[in-house]
A and B are shown apart, each in its own frame.
Chain A
Amino acid sequence: MQYTLSILVENQAGVLSKISGLFSRRGFNIDSLAVGVTNDPGVSRITIVANGDEYVIEQLEKQLNKVIPVIKVKRLNDGDFISRELILIKVHCAASKRSEIIKTAEIMQAKIVDVAQSCVTVEYCETASRVETLIDLLRPYGIREIVRTGTVAIDKGTAAVSV
């Protein structure tokens, strides 16, 4: 089962290593991890997407709560949150294939952000599953490089993860 955790932490040295260390130490697997400062400069928000059964997730939440600089841990409920991931994909692109790739990007509502002799770079900001779809569509052309931010997520409606 895949789940998304939003974690608010005090913005201090070593927090990230405390959290990532906890995952490896207790044998939990991380699919993606994204971190950035919030509207309060003293507080950062970490979004972790991970896999595990109910027992593992519950243990993980409890262990995260024990880390002193962790302020809040929230498991986001399926369907009740918006999630996005930013990806940049550099694709091989002979002149003859260029319009085909541009068309694919257009259909997916992705942007071409750089064009060179033999490749184009596509920028895409979507849910992780849409991102996967785009990668699948572009794979036949030959992918040179991929860089992804990891998923960030926020509750729908008025619900919020705040201090």
Chain B
Amino acid sequence: MISGAEIMVKCLEAEGVDVVFGYPGATICPFYDKIYDSDIRHILVRQEQNAAHMASGYSRCSGRPGVCVATSGPGATNLITGIATAYTDSIPLIAITGQVRSELLGRDVFQEADITGACEPFVKHSYIVKKTADLPRVFKEAFYIASTGRKGPVLIDIPMDIQENEIESFEYPESVNIIGYKPNTKGHTMQVRRAVEAIRNSKRPVIVSGGGVLLSGVKPKFRKFAEKTQIPVISTMMGIGVMPSEHELYLGMLGTHGKTVANRALHDADLVIVCGARLGDRAVASPHQMSENTLVIHIDIDPAEIGKNVKTEIPIVGDMKNVMNMLLDTIGDYVVPNQWQETVKTWKKDFFRNPPVFDGFVEPRTLVAHLSSMLRSKAILVADVGQNQIWCANNFRIRDGRFLTTGGMGTMGYSIPAAVGAKFARPTRDVVVVCGDGSFQMSMNELATIKGNDLAIKIIIMRNHRLGMVRELQDKNYNCRHSATVLQGDPDFLKIAEAYGIDHAEANSNEEAESILKGVVKSDKPFILVCNVYPDTPSI
């Protein structure tokens, strides 16, 4: 005989899960009792939301679904922000929640919450398990759904009695058969042919790379295509890292907080090839950003994204990997006309400027720009949300590593837990967090998780005593009335670091910050650097 809880652990083992992030509670205790005996590492977080962010960071760096676990009621509801964040950025996640006993469901007992109902808008799919014997099928389906098609979080809610009940034996299904879920991954040949035709006829084409390129693991082929055709590449926030920042074809991030050269190229292009991006309102705020005669080719795994935000002439539904192969096979010897190449190169030079330096402060944009050269080429930079996110998105010179941030949901407090997940997925890589003093305080409780697991994560706090991005908004739109954007009563972050037993330093100039960082970035211990930033430093 085998219990539901044992089956849950065996399912995770069968899926090759090596680490889960979670927080126990009464209704998930049967599972916790069994995972205690397993080789799967359980990482105890300090708040459940961070477990979901860790699973997300883990997933983005490992390419496999991340797993987070919480108890019923408040444990489960705390997960929601993390689940919603993963959903918006199409990150595969398995969220496992304990639930009150089946016979008590709906009676508002202690720590009962309708978590499948509450998560409905934020999950790709969810299950509430009614029979122990269903567990293997549910887990198999959940992992399959999370990691195929347009990836996303799947929630499995498991009442306590289902975890306790025993069945004869455990057998993990070899395949799934979900009648209503057959994602189309192969691009339509005819549409690809039309796309190639349009590319060959274009004079001023531009490629927009989105998170989908990274999710489908097609980065090398994508670069090959850009290099072969010499088409300039701009990226959405989620697509940063598809091209090395200093690649001659790469123009930077587009959108309201993006690079002028990227937006200019998008505006002047006669053909835009959108690859695995949904082009949200921050990317293309208004149709005027593109000229009316611009032809759009949109390649995406999710048919619902095509034509949703931008009028599309040539839609291609499919996995970027397959479609990119087809494009490479059929594009022939097309190369972008010289004139366009030259124009774009000139812009790139014209629009570059060094940010001004304020004495006694760290210039965050310059620091981020210099950061990459101190790190190994595959380093992972995790940016939080706010001005720090824009500073990083526009200035970090990514090479072969990853840039992690929450593009769609913009969840403050993401960076520290996501970095924890990233470090578990890629223990040998440099992992650096850049956050603000606001976002740091949203998840600084996870310093305990970092310390407790000896994770060599370097945290750079850009301290300006402000919620800088909102303050900027107030300067622009609300007559400089700084309502609730000045941080008062903040603790001494160096003492916080000390209390957690984490090495730390403070910097008041770029020279100081860089010399400190050079000494610690490659060490095998965590480190916190507090950079004092001039409060009026703009985002862009």
Binding site for B on A (CB under 8 A): 9-10, 13-14, 17-18, 21, 25, 55, 58-59, 62-63, 65-72, 163
29 contacts between A and B (CB under 8 A): A9-B180, A10-B180, A13-B128, A14-B128, A17-B117, A17-B120, A18-B120, A21-B120, A21-B121, A25-B121, A59-B304, A59-B308, A62-B303, A62-B304, A65-B303, A65-B304, A66-B150, A66-B302, A67-B180, A68-B124, A68-B125, A68-B145, A68-B178, A68-B180, A68-B181, A69-B180, A71-B179, A72-B180, A163-B179
Chain B neighbourhood of A63, CB < 8 A: 304
Chain A neighbourhood of B302, CB < 8 A: 66
Candidates B125, B180, B304; contact of A71 at CB < 8 Å = B180
Nearest B-chain residue to A63, judged by Cβ: B304
Chain A neighbourhood of B124, CB < 8 A: 68
Nearest B-chain residue to A26, judged by Cβ: B121
- Judge whether B304 and A10 touch: CB under 8 Å: no
- Within the assembled complex, what's the spacing in Å between the Cα atoms of A17 and B124? 14
| Contact residues of B between 120 and 168, Cβ < 8 Å to A | 120-121, 124-125, 128, 145, 150
Determine if B405 is an interface residue (Cβ-Cβ < 8 Å): no
Chain A neighbourhood of B121, CB < 8 A: 21, 25
Chain B neighbourhood of A66, CB < 8 A: 150, 302, 304
Binding site for A on B (CB under 8 A): 116-117, 120-121, 124-125, 128, 145, 150, 178-181, 302-304, 307-308
- Within the assembled complex, what's the spacing in Å between the Cα atoms of A63 and B307? 13
Distance in Å: Cβ of A41 to nearest Cβ of chain B? 14
- Judge whether B180 and A70 touch: CB under 8 Å: yes
Distance in Å: Cβ of A63 to nearest Cβ of chain B? 5
Interchain pairs with CB closer than 8 A, number: 37
What are the 9 A-B residue pairs with the smallest beta carbon separation, nearest first?
A62-B304, A71-B180, A68-B125, A68-B181, A70-B180, A62-B303, A71-B179, A69-B180, A21-B120
Nearest B-chain residue to A8, judged by Cβ: B180
Nearest A-chain residue to B306, judged by Cβ: A62
Nearest A-chain residue to B308, judged by Cβ: A59
Chain B neighbourhood of A21, CB < 8 A: 120-121
Chain B neighbourhood of A58, CB < 8 A: 307
Distance in Å: Cβ of B525 to nearest Cβ of chain A? 44
Chain A neighbourhood of B303, CB < 8 A: 62, 65
- Within the assembled complex, what's the spacing in Å between the Cα atoms of A72 and B180? 7
- Within the assembled complex, what's the spacing in Å between the Cα atoms of A65 and B304? 9
Distance in Å: Cβ of A68 to nearest Cβ of chain B? 4
Chain A neighbourhood of B304, CB < 8 A: 59, 62-63, 65-66
Distance in Å: Cβ of B469 to nearest Cβ of chain A? 27
Chain A neighbourhood of B178, CB < 8 A: 68
Sample of 14 more A-B contacts, CB < 8 Å, known A68-B178, A71-B179, A72-B180: A10-B179, A10-B180, A14-B128, A21-B120, A21-B121, A25-B121, A55-B307, A59-B308, A65-B303, A66-B150, A66-B304, A67-B180, A68-B181, A69-B180
- Most chain-B Cβ atoms within 10 A of its Cβ — which of A10, A14, A68? A68
Distance in Å: Cβ of A134 to nearest Cβ of chain B? 38
Distance in Å: Cβ of A66 to nearest Cβ of chain B? 6
Chain A neighbourhood of B116, CB < 8 A: 14
- Most chain-B Cβ atoms within 10 A of its Cβ — which of A18, A66, A72? A66
Distance in Å: Cβ of B281 to nearest Cβ of chain A? 15
Distance in Å: Cβ of B280 to nearest Cβ of chain A? 15
Chain B neighbourhood of A55, CB < 8 A: 307
- Within the assembled complex, what's the spacing in Å between the Cα atoms of A21 and B120? 8
Nearest A-chain residue to B125, judged by Cβ: A68
- Within the assembled complex, what's the spacing in Å between the Cα atoms of A25 and B121? 8
- Within the assembled complex, what's the spacing in Å between the Cα atoms of A62 and B121? 16
- Within the assembled complex, what's the spacing in Å between the Cα atoms of A17 and B118? 11
Nearest A-chain residue to B305, judged by Cβ: A62
- Within the assembled complex, what's the spacing in Å between the Cα atoms of A24 and B117? 14
- Within the assembled complex, what's the spacing in Å between the Cα atoms of A69 and B145? 12
- Within the assembled complex, what's the spacing in Å between the Cα atoms of A65 and B303? 9
- Within the assembled complex, what's the spacing in Å between the Cα atoms of A13 and B308? 30
Nearest B-chain residue to A70, judged by Cβ: B180
Chain B neighbourhood of A10, CB < 8 A: 179-180
Chain A neighbourhood of B128, CB < 8 A: 13-14
Chain A neighbourhood of B179, CB < 8 A: 10, 71, 163
Distance in Å: Cβ of A142 to nearest Cβ of chain B? 41
Chain B neighbourhood of A163, CB < 8 A: 179
Nearest A-chain residue to B303, judged by Cβ: A62
Chain A neighbourhood of B181, CB < 8 A: 68
- Within the assembled complex, what's the spacing in Å between the Cα atoms of A9 and B178? 12
Distance in Å: Cβ of B306 to nearest Cβ of chain A? 8
Nearest B-chain residue to A69, judged by Cβ: B180
- Within the assembled complex, what's the spacing in Å between the Cα atoms of A71 and B307? 23
Nearest A-chain residue to B304, judged by Cβ: A62
- Within the assembled complex, what's the spacing in Å between the Cα atoms of A67 and B124? 8
Nearest B-chain residue to A60, judged by Cβ: B304
Chain A neighbourhood of B145, CB < 8 A: 68
Distance in Å: Cβ of B145 to nearest Cβ of chain A? 6
Nearest B-chain residue to A13, judged by Cβ: B128
Chain B neighbourhood of A69, CB < 8 A: 180
Nearest B-chain residue to A67, judged by Cβ: B180
Chain A neighbourhood of B120, CB < 8 A: 17-18, 21
- Within the assembled complex, what's the spacing in Å between the Cα atoms of A158 and B178? 27
Distance in Å: Cβ of B155 to nearest Cβ of chain A? 12
Distance in Å: Cβ of A115 to nearest Cβ of chain B? 42
Distance in Å: Cβ of A105 to nearest Cβ of chain B? 43
- Within the assembled complex, what's the spacing in Å between the Cα atoms of A67 and B181? 8
Chain A neighbourhood of B180, CB < 8 A: 9-10, 67-72
Distance in Å: Cβ of B141 to nearest Cβ of chain A? 9
Chain B neighbourhood of A62, CB < 8 A: 303-304
Chain B neighbourhood of A25, CB < 8 A: 121
Distance in Å: Cβ of B143 to nearest Cβ of chain A? 14
